[in-house]
Amino acid sequence: MFLHIDIDCFFISAERTINKNLLNCPAAVGSRSNLEIFSQQRRNIKLLNINSGAFVTPVFHSDFKKNFNNYFLDKNKIRGIITTASYEARAYGVKTAMPIAKALSLCPNLIVVPSNMSLYHKLSKKLFILLKKEIPQIEQYSIDEFFGIIDGWIENKDVEKFINYLKNKIYKELKLPVSIGAAKSKYIAKLATNKAKPFGVYIVNNQEEFIKDIPISNFPGIGKSFSKKLNQYGIKKLSDICNSKKLLYSWKLPGIELYNRVCAKNNGIIKKKEPKKSIGLSRTFDAIYEYNEIQRRVVIMGRHIAYMVHKAKVNPLRFDLKIYYNDGTKIKNGIQSNRIFNEHLFKESLVILLKNSWIENRGIIKIRVWVSNFSIKGNKTLSLLNHNEDLKQKQIDDAVSKLRNSFGLDILKNGNEI
């Protein structure tokens, strides 16, 4: 039997653990693209644990105290989107990814608080530790979702009692409301959680009956394009998939996997955390036309990625930069390296990539930088020509990283970052 544990309205539920004024009222967490790393003021910016598994993308935070006025108001204009809304707010039509200004027009008494990633990371990690003590096999699926398997641990007749106990224990110890779905299939357990919300439990005893009227778009892994393809064959509900084995199998691997997952021919497994295959950052902002400012931002992003690489103890051999222009143009350029990674080398490479991606008189609205193709440090395939120079730079990086661990990533900057 698989369990799917989902924290209800996680970000706002997390905020309610420290702010009782948000209880039982329309409330939401909002966010903006984190441009704080580009600030020319000195701030104590630190990285949340890159290897925790709670976040898919790296999260940087600082001691800057955010509130509605200094975070969402920009020249008297409300910026940002809703990240999570409470059930009370959803009753007014407030939704995730909705502009905050629109949300306030729908619900004038809505309380919107800035995101606090450090708090969410901390609570997600605490919940993972709690679950590990209660269930032998746990997988962190996202920051607010977990899978567990209880076969051989909890007898079928005791499943309902156990998951109610688990739900109540989590709320008692962490003040987080969770909903729990249970089924023989991992994928159906995730669907069952939708039936359990909010703050409830749901056990699927008869899977065939359970999936009969569920739209295919509700199933995890079926996106818009796949839904459109299925609809062309009259497949609109999950039960239609189970009645279309021959068709789905004719689509080879994607169709076979979908059929087996929906119809419980493949019940799934609890996955172990896989090592990262790339490390990167992206930032979106209002259009910028000045080359020097874009170069400054690219180099700053390079500094942050270099710090993450050092923390992850990997040696990337591939550097990539993607530039998004305000006319829809996207330009991607990359460099293959054969050297020991260091911050100086990486920043120099990014400047070269930017020059190759630059278009005069066009505004840039987004930058994405990432590294990949990890190799073992000191591998013999790395450049012998630059070996001594790279080792010296690595020693510098080690010393700088120690300072940044203690005083934040802004403690040391290049001249062209200011």
- 361-379 residue pLDDT tens: 999 999 999 999 998 654 4
Summarize pLDDT for 259-289 with one digit per residue, the tens.
999 987 878 888 877 778 899 999 999 999 9
CA angle at residue 25 from 24 to 29, to 5 degrees? 110
**Residue 382 falls inside a structural domain:** yes
Backbone dihedral angles phi then psi of residue 58, each to the nearest 5 degrees:
-65, 145
pLDDT at 394 over 50: yes
Q: What is the rounded distance in angstroms from the CA atom of residue 304 to the CA atom of residue 48?
A: 12
Cis peptide before 198 (omega within 30 of 0): yes
Q: Tell me: do 239 and 349 sit in the same domain.
A: no
pLDDT at position 267, please?
Answer: 82
**Residue 354 falls inside a structural domain:** yes
pLDDT at 381 over 70: no
Q: Which listed residue (15, 36, 139, 145) is catalytic? A: 145
Question: Domain limits at 323?
Answer: 278-417
Rg of the chain (C-alpha set)? 24
| Of the residues 272, 287, 305, the one at which a domain ends | 272
- Going by the DSSP 8-state scheme, the letter that residue 304 receives in this structure is H
Q: Which residues contact 112 (CB under 8 A, 6 or more apart)?
A: 27, 28, 29, 30, 68, 72, 82, 100, 103, 104
pLDDT at position 39, please?
Answer: 78
Q: Tell me: do 267 and 380 sit in the same domain.
A: no
Dihedral angle sign, alpha carbons of residues 78, 83, 87, 91: positive
pLDDT at 391 over 80: yes
pLDDT at position 176, please?
Answer: 98
Q: Tell me: do 302 and 401 sit in the same domain.
A: yes
Domains contained in the chain, number = 3
**Residue 199 falls inside a structural domain:** no
Q: What average pLDDT does this structure show over 164-181?
A: 98
Q: Tell me: do 33 and 90 sit in the same domain.
A: yes
**Residue 144 falls inside a structural domain:** no
Mean pLDDT of the chain: 90
Q: What average pLDDT does this structure show over 191-202?
A: 96
| Whether residue 145 lies in the annotated active site | yes
- Contact of 173 with 130, CB cutoff 8 Å: yes
Q: Tell me: do 284 and 261 sit in the same domain.
A: no
b/e code 50-85 from CB counts within 10 Å (16+ = b): bebbbbeebbbbbeeeeeeeebbeeeeebbbbbbbb
